[in-house]
Amino acid sequence: MGDKTIQILKDKKELILERWINKQKAEDNYFNADEQQQDSEELLDAFLSALDDHNIDDRNAREFDKVYEILMGISVSRAKRGFSPRETGVYLFSLKESLLETLAEGIGDPEKLYTDSLKVSKIIDNMTILTFEGYIKGREDVIARQTDEITEISTPVIRVWDGVVALPIIGTLDSSRTQVIMENLLVQIVETGSTIAILDISGVPAMDTLVAQHLIKTVSATRLLGAECIISGIRPEIAQIVVHLGIDLSNIITKSTLANALQTAFNMLQLEVNKKKGITPNN
């Protein structure tokens, strides 16, 4: 590609951008004029600035680093906003069409037009492949964020009484989730000055050696802060599995229901809750 061809593209930058934006509007039902105009202009500026006769055949040329960096940012952003790989690919293909249309109008020699068009297409095709990497990274970021949010939501520490906190556990326990549970529980024990923590495992679908180890670690960490831990929600099938696996929970207070665990906590705090005579729940 000669300097003349590159200069044609640079001189026609505004026309290329206009054509590209129009194609996006026609193909994208969720076209955001302000946002996509800015992204497209920034990418086109970087692409034309990097383009010269010495790097046109080298996709790894350092001049293209900024182009790839901008493109990766756009791809990740679009993936997080729900764009599919196909939609982002079409986004770049419309750029290629705009570039080739401009070259067709500016180059009269068919042979040169063919040669230079192939070189432009090769660069854009390589950029399109890069958008798939951006899509994967963007979706991984979304999944990681959602996993963190779900973990936070599923591990609430509740202050049920003065000196008593409860943590209902729902779902399977693994190492990373146990760490979150432990951190949340210990923070609440310190902040509330609680001396008793209830771990309710009614929502844990199954018990195995690994889950038991995670529970024991949480109990040990709680005791290091001077608080006693009660595990509630021990269903008959869970009790059978614990015995069958030979898991030793003998040094941990266990109860079948959260209500029983709360009553035990009251006894440990030397509290007594009595129903007043003549008072009905509706009153």
Q: What is the C-alpha to C-alpha distance for residues 91 and 97, in angstroms, rounded to an integer?
A: 10
Model confidence at 57, in pLDDT bands (50, 70, 90)?
A: low
pLDDT single digits (tens) 70-86: 999 988 888 888 888 88
User: What are the residues whose beta carbons fall under 8 Å from the beta carbon of 257, sequence distance 6 or more?
Assistant: 202, 232, 233
Show the DSSP H helices in 154-279 as ranges.
Answer: 175-192, 209-224, 236-245, 258-268
pLDDT at 17: 93
Q: What is the C-alpha to C-alpha distance for residues 28 and 93, in angstroms, rounded to an integer?
A: 13
The pLDDT of residue 283 is above 60: no
Q: Determine what percent of the chain is predicted with pLDDT higher than 90.
A: 27
The pLDDT of residue 264 is above 90: yes
pLDDT at 58: 63
The pLDDT mean for the chain works out to 84
pLDDT single digits (tens) 129-160: 888 888 888 888 888 887 777 666 666 888 88
Per-residue buried b or exposed e for 104-113, using 16+ beta carbons within 10 Å of the residue's own CB: eebbeeeeeb
Q: What is the C-alpha to C-alpha distance for residues 159 and 81, in angstroms, rounded to an integer?
A: 37
pTM confidence score? 0.56
Model confidence at 230, in pLDDT bands (50, 70, 90)?
A: very high
Model confidence at 239, in pLDDT bands (50, 70, 90)?
A: confident
Average pLDDT over residues 232-250: 83
Distance of alpha carbon 154 from its chain centroid, rounded? 16
Calculate the alpha carbon distances from 217 to 182, 185, 187, 223, 233 in Å.
8, 12, 16, 10, 18
